[in-house]
Amino acid sequence: MNQPDGLLDGIRQKILAGTLPKQNCRMTWYGPGTGGICVACDQPIVADDVEVECDLPNGGTIRLHRRCYDIWAAEWPSCEGPDLPASGA
């Protein structure tokens, strides 16, 4: 697997910016890509890719490539946004 370094950075930036949520999916669905735009990398999810459709606890739905979903799911718990209260400083 050849994963561009920029993908991880881009996803972390979106988590920090709030474009990607910091919460677990309520439900996830895996299927073939339908040409929709991945919220994580802004690239279309083509039929050769696996599309993950993710229902969020607040009712929203996002679509990502499977590789993007895997990175996002691994990264968001360790991403701290600027809106968190400072503690101990």
Site for Zn ion, rule CB under 5 A: 38, 40-41, 65, 68
Closest to Zn ion by CB, 20 or 68? 68
Closest to Zn ion by CB, 5 or 83? 5
Distance of closest approach, residue 81 Cβ to Zn ion, in angstroms: 21
Distance of closest approach, residue 82 Cβ to Zn ion, in angstroms: 24
CA distances from 36 to 45, 49, 74 (A): 5, 11, 23
Q: Find out whether 56 and 73 touch, Cβ atoms under 8 Å.
A: no
Rounded to an integer, what distance in angstroms lies between the CA atom of residue 22 and that of residue 24? 7
Closest to Zn ion by CB, 71 or 87? 71
Find, among 87, 86, 88, 64, the residue nearest to 76 by Cα: 64
Distance of closest approach, residue 13 Cβ to Zn ion, in angstroms: 14
Closest to Zn ion by CB, 42 or 80? 42
Tokens found for residue 68? 């993007």
Tokens found for residue 8? 């991880």
Distance of closest approach, residue 64 Cβ to Zn ion, in angstroms: 5
